[in-house]
Amino acid sequence: MAMDEAICWRAVVENDRRFDGLFFTCVKTTKIFCKPSCPAKTPKRENVLFVSDTETAMGKGFRACLRCKPTEITGVNEKTKIAVEACEYINANRRADLNELGKSLGLSSGHLQRVFKSVIGVSPRKYLEFIKLKRFKDGVSGGKEVLEAMYDAGFESTSRLYENANQKIGMTPGRYKEGGRNLVISYSITKCSLGNLLVAATSKGICAVKIGDSPEELSAELGREFVNAEIRVEGALIKHFVDAIVELIEGNEVGLELPIDVKATAFQMRVWDELRKIPFGETITYAELARRIGNEKSVRAVAAACAKNNVAVVVPCHRVIGSDGGLRGYRWGIERKQQLLENEKADIALERKLFT
């Protein structure tokens, strides 16, 4: 079955006759096969097998349904056929370039886009994202490491990958052995408007984000923190993390929660968790942060935990300020904290201008 099963299933649930003839549903419990538009009661998803033609269905021992008569179909809906072919092309090539798609199907890109959307419900680009995300989730739940699954799914640049997939990944405290023993860490250093940016990741997530003037100092600091780890310069593997973090620094909300893999005490983890809930472009005070973790008296400890944050921007400790509005401290320099907050506010202001 070359067609995506999620699309087949939706057509079955909605009795969508536009899909009649393009695939058939075999019901394992009754040994009967139907058209997608069959008016009989919708079978349970786990009992359904999708096949692309009646011969296959009969070959597997299924009998034609007497109600919808799936063997008597004449012709198929042309638009649906085009959309299904486009889906197959996207699945096979993992690309959703409209011109390329149009060319391969002999249609103008605009026409193709309209047909696709009317049948599938989303644009080809969104459909590709959906396929990748699904492949990624399957990979992770099948026991793959995050980076490997991401790579296999075809994510190479900034994406909304984590938007929905974050439940299973996220933080993994207490995993680190002394000095990162047995750990493989990939990192790269990029220039951004705040200076040099170091991003480092284990196979489970981002373990360090540092901003500074000198690239040598940044990599030396990483080496000191993970003295027993195997540290490699590796741009390609973590490019999507770097891209997303640069976007954040330049004040573009990326709408994703990046997975982090950090060493922390239980208290620090609580503070950092809470930090990640502060919306882009907003600030709270250290006192408020202490209240939010349920311990009003812990303002000093909370501030200390912010100062220990090893993943700049990803855990947005820069969004916490003093009760008088003063910026207080920032591990990577107070000017950088100010710049980050200004970039975020500018982005929010622009968004308001555009969408209200």
Note the residues at the interface with Zn ion (CB under 5 A).
Answer: 34, 38, 65, 67-68
**Minimum gap (Å) between residue 73 Cβ and Zn ion:** 12
Euclidean distance between CA atoms 114 and 98, whole angstroms? 11
Tokens of 178: 């002394």
DSSP letter for 85, please: H
To Zn ion, the closest distance from the beta carbon of 72 in angstroms equals 11
Whichever of 45 and 191 has its CB closer to Zn ion, that residue is: 45
Q: Is 68 a catalytic residue?
A: no
Active-site position among 26, 34, 38, 207: 34
Minimum separation from the CB atom of position 162 to Zn ion (A): 41
Query: Phi first, then psi: what are they for 167, rounded to 5°?
Result: -55, -40
Cβ at position 66, least distance to Zn ion in Å: 8
Q: Which of 62/136 has CB closer to Zn ion?
A: 62
Name which of 70 and 170 has its Cβ closer to Zn ion.
Answer: 70
Smallest separation, CB 269 to Zn ion (Å): 54
Where are any strands of DSSP class E within the chain? 24-27, 32-34, 48-51, 63-64, 184-192, 195-201, 206-212, 230-233, 284-285, 320-321
- CA 337/CA 320 separation, integer angstroms: 10
Indicate the residue among 67 and 300 with the shorter CB distance to Zn ion.
67
DSSP string, 260-295: B-----HHHHHHHHHHTTSPTT--EEHHHHHHHTT-
Nearer CB in complex with Zn ion: 53/213? 53
User: Are 187 and 241 in contact, with CB atoms under 8 Å apart?
Assistant: no
Known catalytic membership, residue 317: yes
Measured distance CA(352)–CA(175) in Å, rounded: 42
Could you give the residue numbers annotated as active site?
Answer: 34, 317
